[in-house]
Amino acid sequence: FVFEEDYDLHTLAQIEKFIKTNKHLEGIASAEEMKKNGVKVGELQMKLLQKIEELTLHTIEQEKLIKQQAKVNRELLKRIEKLENKEKQE
């Protein structure tokens, strides 16, 4: 369900805020809760898979951004080279 179009993927900033406030991932019990109530391994595995899928989506978006920034950097370097060449000729 994580890969469905209507899935509400939280931003990394939202995830960071939740972690800072609660000291654990959203949807995953805290260590204290796990010690107190035990762990349902099958349920935990499903939630961990969900987190892996969310991380995969974030990684894909980050790669797109990196590629876009690399393209902009190449274009800016070309402009700088042209300006430097123009200055040398003057």
**Over the stretch 25-51, which tens digit does the pLDDT of each residue have?**
999 999 999 999 999 999 999 999 999
Predicted TM-score (pTM) of the model is 0.77
Residue 64's alpha-carbon distances to 1, 9, 71, in angstroms, are 22, 17, 11
Percent of the chain with pLDDT over 70: 100
| Residue 62: predicted pLDDT | 97
Question: How far is 71 from 90, CA to CA, in rounded Å?
Answer: 29
| Residue 2: predicted pLDDT | 93
Question: How far is 12 from 54, CA to CA, in rounded Å?
Answer: 10
Residue 46's alpha-carbon distances to 29, 58, 90, in angstroms, are 13, 19, 66
